[in-house]
């Protein structure tokens, strides 16, 4: 992500104090604890003009759920101001910077998995596809039910491993049908789940993050 942004002529900073957006606590129902972690996020990123996030899930946490967390607090204004500066990576490139061709090259066939948070909380559907269409040598094949959840869901994946895995099994079926060499997604957590299962099942499909693909020269 840094390489691509710098190649496009932007200055990238990495605030050293950053940790986590707090979603693990939030999704487990511990809203107060999530807010304490969110406080740290707000402080760490308060000076940044634009915040790029290589994950639809973390972006959704900040943009969609922080305002809910801070609903009845005096930091709400600051939070709402911050949410206008947070972008998921493909949104940042396509919607904010107006770039759809980053000059990447990767030979092969790929299918794209829509992460649920990016898709349904943020409405990201076209941006990653437009970027991938412009990757030289890459052809994109849509899989059946690309919008179906991969089965990760945070603590769900360990609390209900049998259901979580069954969902990824369905994803493997859909992805395999396309005969694609790569499965690409904008969410590291989906990729951890999908790659973890695909690799266990000895699937030849390679899982890549959108940024990894766009960085291929």
Partner 1 sequence: MSQTRNPFTQFQTDATQVTADDDRRSFLRSSMRGYMNTRSATQGRFIDYESARIAAGEVKWEAIENLDVYLVQFADNLEARGTKVHWCDNSEQARETILGILKDHDAKTIIKSKCMTTEEIHLNDLLSQEGYEVVESDLGEFIVQLREEAPYHFVFPAMHLKKEEINRLFQEKLKSVSTSDPEALTMIAREVLREKYIQADVGISGANFGIAETGMISITENEGNARLTTALPKVHISLMGIEKVIPRIEDLALLLPMLATAGTGQHLTCYNSQLGGPRQPGETDGPDEMHVVLLDNHRTRLLADPEQRDALRCIRCGACLNVCPIFKNVGGHTYGTTYQGPIGSVITPHLRGLKNWKHLSHSSSLCGACTETCPVKIDLHHHLLRNRRNAAERGEGGLFERMLMKGFVFVMRRPWVYRAVGWTGKIAHFLSKPIHGTRLDPFYRWKKTRDLDDPAKQSFKQYWSSRK
Of 83-91, 99-107, 177-185, 191-199, the window that binds partner 1 (rule: CB under 8 A) is 191-199
Nearest residue (CB) to partner 1, 37 versus 102: 37
* In the complex, least distance from residue 39 CB atom to partner 1, rounded to whole angstroms: 8
Q: What are the CA-CA distances from residue 167 to residues 8, 27, 109, 132, 142 (Å)?
A: 38, 19, 23, 25, 18
Nearest residue (CB) to partner 1, 10 versus 200: 200
Pick from 160, 203, 212, 216 the residue near partner 1 by CB under 8 A: 160
Rule CB under 8 A: say whether 84 interacts with partner 1: no
Rule CB under 8 A: say whether 27 interacts with partner 1: yes
Q: What are the CA-CA distances from residue 65 to residues 71, 120, 159, 160 (Å)?
A: 10, 13, 23, 24
Rule CB under 8 A: say whether 76 interacts with partner 1: no
Nearest residue (CB) to partner 1, 55 versus 135: 55
Neighbouring-strand partners of residue 136: 105
Pick from 157, 180, 183, 184 the residue near partner 1 by CB under 8 A: 157
Cβ within 8 Å of residue 180, ≥6 positions away: 108, 109, 110, 111, 141, 143, 205
Pick from 81, 107, 139, 155 the residue near partner 1 by CB under 8 A: 155
Closest alpha carbon to 121 in 98, 147, 85: 147
Rule CB under 8 A: say whether 112 interacts with partner 1: no
Rule CB under 8 A: say whether 161 interacts with partner 1: yes
Rule CB under 8 A: say whether 33 interacts with partner 1: yes
CA torsion sign, 19 to 10 to 118 to 146? negative
Question: Maximum distance among all alpha carbons in the chain?
Answer: 53
CA 187/CA 113 separation, integer angstroms: 9
Residues that bind partner 1 (CB under 8 A): 14, 16-20, 22, 24-31, 33, 36-37, 39-40, 116, 120-121, 147-149, 151-168, 170, 192-193, 195-197, 199-200
């Amino acid at each position: 992500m840094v390489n691509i942004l710098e190649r496009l002529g932007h200055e990238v900073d990495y605030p050293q104090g950053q940790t986590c957006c707090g979603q693990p606590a939030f999704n487990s129902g511990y809203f107060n604890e999530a807010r304490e972690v969110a406080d740290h996020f707000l402080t760490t990123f308060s000076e940044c003009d634009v915040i790029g996030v290589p994950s639809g899930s973390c972006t959704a946490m900040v943009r969609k759920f922080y305002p809910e967390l801070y609903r009845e607090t005096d930091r709400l204004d600051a939070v709402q101001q911050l949410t206008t500066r947070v972008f998921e990576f493909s949104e940042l490139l396509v919607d904010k910077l107006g770039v759809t061709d980053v000059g990447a090259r990767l030979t092969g066939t790929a299918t794209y998995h829509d992460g649920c948070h990016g898709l349904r909380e943020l409405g990201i559907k076209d941006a990653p596809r437009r970027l991938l269409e412009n990757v030289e040598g890459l052809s994109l094949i849509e899989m059946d039910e690309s919008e179906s959840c991969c089965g990760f869901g945070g603590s769900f994946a360990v609390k209900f491993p049998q259901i979580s895995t069954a969902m990824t099994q369905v994803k493997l079926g859909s992805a395999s049908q396309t005969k694609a060499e790569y499965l690409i997604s904008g969410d590291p957590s989906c990729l951890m789940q999908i790659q973890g299962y695909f690799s266990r099942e000895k699937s030849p499909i390679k899982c890549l993050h959108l940024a990894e693909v766009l960085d291929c020269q």
